[in-house]
Structure 1
Amino acid sequence: MTLRRYQVGGAVRDRLLGRTPTEIDWVVVGATPEALRALGYRQVGRDFPVFLHPQTGDEHALARTERKAGAGHRGFVVHADPEVTLEMDLARRDLTINAIAEDEDGQLIDPYGGQRDLEARVFRHVSAAFAEDPLRVLRLARFAARFADLGFTLAPETATLCRQMAARGELAELSAERVWQETARALMESPRPSVYFETLRSLGALDSWFPELAALFGVPQRAEYHPEIDTGLHTLMCIDHAARQDYPLPVRISALTHDFGKALTPPAVLPRHPGHEARGVPLVTAFCDRLRVPNRCREVALIHTREHLLIHQVRQLRPTTLLALLERLQALRASPVFAAICQASYCDARGRLGLEDCEYPQVAYLQAAATVAGAVQARELMGDGVEGAALGAALAAARVEALREWREAGQGDAARGLG
């Protein structure tokens, strides 16, 4: 038995694109699990034989073929043995640019034209087997977003195949966990995560898992506040701003979801959207339930959806209303939620055509108000013998008074950004 190993997939692709690979994957031809274990490799794969190299820790998978035998991305029968060739293994991969191998001497093996498509900046499926796994539609959209700055396009035949898969409802077969994984990676790894959703929309695949977002396209907003007018476009601009600022995932999810309620605005009042923030809360909840969004992302998205209009108006709020808002934003206790809400508010303000770098003094005002209110502590009132429910009421009253004095003294002017 002659054991041969080849680097495959993303590592080869990224090097050919002039990028540093983030991980190295290998495929091993002409070997058995027993042979690799005898060489010190540690087996970790359950669905198919995957091993970790004893020195480098790189993943090594036995060359294999797959046969569709059920619904979803898990419905495959995997066949791995020494008779499976490298070309047979590469044939099961999704895109030609991911089906290039490199041997240990640096020689490229490219039976499906991946180098040609890299040079032409084209995403093209390797074979009709692409259609056997609906997750590949999401992966394709993620690659489109990841390489958005390189000008890749979809081969017409690949786009047609994806549209057919979406029209047959095959994306509904996917697990929420895998959809979330692809979506989170697209949001965090892409220079323009909007391309992920734009690609799915162009393929008729956005409604399957993101109906709340799909419903925003074509919904108008007031041009004096939103020169881009279209609510869907505004939402995509918000998540792109989050990516440019390298904001964390909870902020990006909030940027994506905060205006869901605008899709439910009665047509008679358009392009105004009174009450859209309250209408959006159950839609964000449904979205988070469907994708099993992590709790911190869910928390930030729900709070920002409910409060973002009030944040825009924060400089006009009375001290009592301002304090209540600060408490709901978790601004007066040690919590990362408030910082995330502030970042999401910047995304909302700057996710607008021609206003990508606009001033947004509301955040500084909120932060300054939180400092003023937070400086008043309960221990300062305990010396007067106040305790229990009375202590809470006294603390709130003292904080309201501190905010009133701060405003009346003009101390909020710098935070307001007034000149």
Structure 2
Amino acid sequence: MSAVPCPRPVDAADGLEVYLVGGAVRDQLVGHVPNEWDYVVVGATADDLERRGFKQVGRDFPVFLHPRTKDEYALARTERKTAPGYRGFVVHADPSVTLEEDLRRRDLTINALARSAEGTLIDPFGGLADVQARVLRHCSPAFAEDPVRILRVARFAARFAPLGFRVADETLDLMRAMVAAGEVDALVPERVWQELSKALGETRPSRFFEVLRACGALARLLPELDRLWGVPQPEKWHPEIDTGVHAMLVLDMAAQLSPDPEVRFAALCHDLGKGTTPAAIWPSHHGHEERSVTLLEAVCDRLRVPNRHRALARITARYHGLVHTVEELRPATIFDLLERTDAFRRPERFRQMLTACEADFRGRTGYADRPYPQAAELGRLFAAALAVDVAALAVAAAEPRLIAQQIRQARITAIRRARLDRTTPEAAGHHQS
């Protein structure tokens, strides 16, 4: 008796005209593994999908979740601009909307690609050629209707910078015109932060800010950062001289050292105060740490930056100079640094700060491969202070009011001893290993 082949299970999308679209198609073409699988359904209605078990998500767009895979299936749609900003759109979705009409509303040609169920590539706007040429080009004049697209182009530039992608000249010109027309001024803070925080997670996050600067959007969205370009620093310590260039080198170095977005944000904002240094004292930047904190707080308030990002960026901006000079600091000053950064209560955040400080040190022309022993040394001294048995000191204290002072003195002593121990031959040999 011959075996009967088992039929493929019926899928909720069977019988629909479905196309894989957008990022999944693009990522396959550039050699990346897609992390999202989005589909467009042509010739169907919301009722058609709901009868098949699809669940609509959101209120503004006809997007549905597949009942089994939870992938997104959107009805083919068009959009019409009705008001300034990114919310001023009327969405039209019905069975008459074609695949090409749906793809035309997308931002970039490399995102306006589709693949049929049989594997055929649908490319009405030259996206494949732009993938091959490594170009980010707007899909149609409708790009100018949505200011979020400026941020998205900058983010894609950061993501694909290692592959050699650049923004097309005509797209950059269109972005400049959008900025001049005031479109970016209509962006709500939460949307700006959403795109910025995604950009911090990209391989080369500096490109996000460089593209925004090239089209004029950075001056409108992050003037505290934009004004760093053109501000000089002492060439002895900063061969790159320009403070804006330094900020980008630091950010990319932070991206090499850590995947942590909080560390990357702290690296980005650590020197904001240099943008407000009086030109009369250039290239010196005395007091820039305090000014950096003030400007950082304004950025975080305006963009609704999460508290964890803000807290780490604040202590990095205020204390990175002290961390760099740890070898010159007295034990009491080191203890005060640990106290002011709240290291004893939040040791993990303190270590995040050390990583951001290392990015600052190595984010200079010619410094990328230099060692940064300050982080290890300060970490070692912190461990010594942390090892002090504060509970025993509290029990032994003659008076409660003396406990804090005795803990402080014991920890300063521990720091001093740890520093002395390093100078002994035995300790020196262990340190070299």
2:154 maps to amino acid: A
Query: 2:378 aligned to 366, 370, 378, which one?
Result: 366
1:4 corresponds in structure 2 to 17
Query: 1:191 aligned to 198, 203, 227, which one?
Result: 203
Task: Give, in angstroms, the shift of residue 329 of structure 1.
Answer: 2.0
Query: 2:245 aligned to 229, 233, 251, which one?
Result: 233
Residues 240, 365 of structure 2: 8 Å contact kept = yes
Q: Deviations over 1:279-326 (max 9, x none)?
A: 111101111112111110000001110111111111111121110101
Once residues 56 and 296 of structure 2 are traced to their aligned partners in structure 1, the CA distance between those partners, rounded to angstroms, is 41
Once residues 387 and 299 of structure 1 are traced to their aligned partners in structure 2, the CA distance between those partners, rounded to angstroms, is 34
Q: Deviations over 1:214-248 (max 9, x none)?
A: 11001111111111111111110011011112330
Task: Give, in angstroms, the shift of residue 277 of structure 1.
Answer: 0.5
Q: Deviations over 1:344-369 (max 9, x none)?
A: 01100100001001121111111111
1:304 corresponds in structure 2 to 316
- Distance 1:35-1:156 versus aligned 2 partners, 3 A rule: same
Residues 246, 363 of structure 2: 8 Å contact kept = yes
Alignment of 1:172 with 2:185, yes or no, is: yes
2:37 maps to amino acid: I
Query: Aligned ranges for residues 141-160 of structure 1 at < 5 Å?
Result: 141-160=154-173
Once residues 138 and 395 of structure 2 are traced to their aligned partners in structure 1, the CA distance between those partners, rounded to angstroms, is 73
Classify the secondary structure of the residue corresponding to 2:396.
Answer: coil
1:346 corresponds in structure 2 to 358
1:380 corresponds in structure 2 to 392
Classify the secondary structure of the residue corresponding to 1:130.
Answer: helix
Alignment of 1:90 with 2:103, yes or no, is: yes
Alignment of 1:121 with 2:134, yes or no, is: yes
Task: Give, in angstroms, the shift of residue 334 of structure 1.
Answer: 4.3
Alignment of 1:77 with 2:96, yes or no, is: no
1:285 corresponds in structure 2 to 297
Alignment of 1:204 with 2:187, yes or no, is: no
Once residues 254 and 309 of structure 2 are traced to their aligned partners in structure 1, the CA distance between those partners, rounded to angstroms, is 14
Query: 2:329 aligned to 314, 317, 323, which one?
Result: 317
1:198 maps to amino acid: E
2:145 corresponds in structure 1 to 132
2:404 corresponds in structure 1 to 392
Once residues 229 and 320 of structure 2 are traced to their aligned partners in structure 1, the CA distance between those partners, rounded to angstroms, is 20
Query: What is the CA RMSD across the aligned residues, in angstroms?
Result: 1.9
1:159 maps to amino acid: L
Once residues 264 and 399 of structure 2 are traced to their aligned partners in structure 1, the CA distance between those partners, rounded to angstroms, is 41
Classify the secondary structure of the residue corresponding to 2:327.
Answer: helix
Query: Aligned ranges for residues 7-22 of structure 1 at < 5 Å?
Result: 7-22=20-35
- Distance 1:200-1:383 versus aligned 2 partners, 3 A rule: closer
Task: Give, in angstroms, the shift of residue 414 of structure 1.
Answer: 5.4
What's the TM-score once normalised by structure 1's chain length? 0.96
1:262 corresponds in structure 2 to 274
2:110 maps to amino acid: I
Q: Deviations over 1:372-393 (max 9, x none)?
A: 1111122122342445331111
Query: Aligned ranges for residues 28-39 of structure 1 at < 5 Å?
Result: 28-39=41-52
Task: Give, in angstroms, the shift of residue 192 of structure 1.
Answer: 1.1
Q: Identity over aligned residues, as a percent?
A: 53
Task: Give, in angstroms, the shift of residue 160 of structure 1.
Answer: 1.0
Once residues 334 and 240 of structure 1 are traced to their aligned partners in structure 2, the CA distance between those partners, rounded to angstroms, is 26
Once residues 399 and 247 of structure 2 are traced to their aligned partners in structure 1, the CA distance between those partners, rounded to angstroms, is 47
2:418 corresponds in structure 1 to 406
2:341 corresponds in structure 1 to 329
Q: Which moved more, 1:399-408 or 1:239-248?
A: 399-408
Once residues 414 and 343 of structure 1 are traced to their aligned partners in structure 2, the CA distance between those partners, rounded to angstroms, is 24
1:39 maps to amino acid: R
Task: Give, in angstroms, the shift of residue 411 of structure 1.
Answer: 5.1
Once residues 354 and 310 of structure 1 are traced to their aligned partners in structure 2, the CA distance between those partners, rounded to angstroms, is 22
Once residues 125 and 309 of structure 1 are traced to their aligned partners in structure 2, the CA distance between those partners, rounded to angstroms, is 43
Residues 319, 404 of structure 1: 8 Å contact kept = yes
Once residues 219 and 198 of structure 1 are traced to their aligned partners in structure 2, the CA distance between those partners, rounded to angstroms, is 16
- Where does structure 1 lack aligned partners over 5 or more consecutive residues? none
Residues 381, 419 of structure 2: 8 Å contact kept = no
Residues 257, 355 of structure 2: 8 Å contact kept = no
Residues 169, 208 of structure 1: 8 Å contact kept = no
2:262 maps to amino acid: P
Query: 1:48 aligned to 41, 57, 61, which one?
Result: 61
Classify the secondary structure of the residue corresponding to 1:147.
Answer: helix
- Distance 1:98-1:387 versus aligned 2 partners, 3 A rule: farther
Once residues 86 and 326 of structure 1 are traced to their aligned partners in structure 2, the CA distance between those partners, rounded to angstroms, is 60
- Where does structure 2 lack aligned partners over 5 or more consecutive residues? 1-14
2:83 maps to amino acid: G
Task: Give, in angstroms, the shift of residue 75 of structure 1.
Answer: 1.1
Q: Which moved more, 1:131-140 or 1:203-212?
A: 203-212
Equivalenced residues, count: 417
Q: Which moved more, 1:94-103 or 1:406-415?
A: 406-415
1:221 maps to amino acid: Q
Once residues 121 and 18 of structure 1 are traced to their aligned partners in structure 2, the CA distance between those partners, rounded to angstroms, is 13
What's the TM-score once normalised by structure 2's chain length? 0.93
- Distance 1:374-1:203 versus aligned 2 partners, 3 A rule: same
Once residues 331 and 251 of structure 2 are traced to their aligned partners in structure 1, the CA distance between those partners, rounded to angstroms, is 32
Q: Deviations over 1:53-78 (max 9, x none)?
A: 11211100011110111221111111
Task: Give, in angstroms, the shift of residue 134 of structure 1.
Answer: 0.6
Residues 62, 75 of structure 2: 8 Å contact kept = yes
Q: Deviations over 1:11-36 (max 9, x none)?
A: 01111112211110001111111110
1:246 corresponds in structure 2 to 258
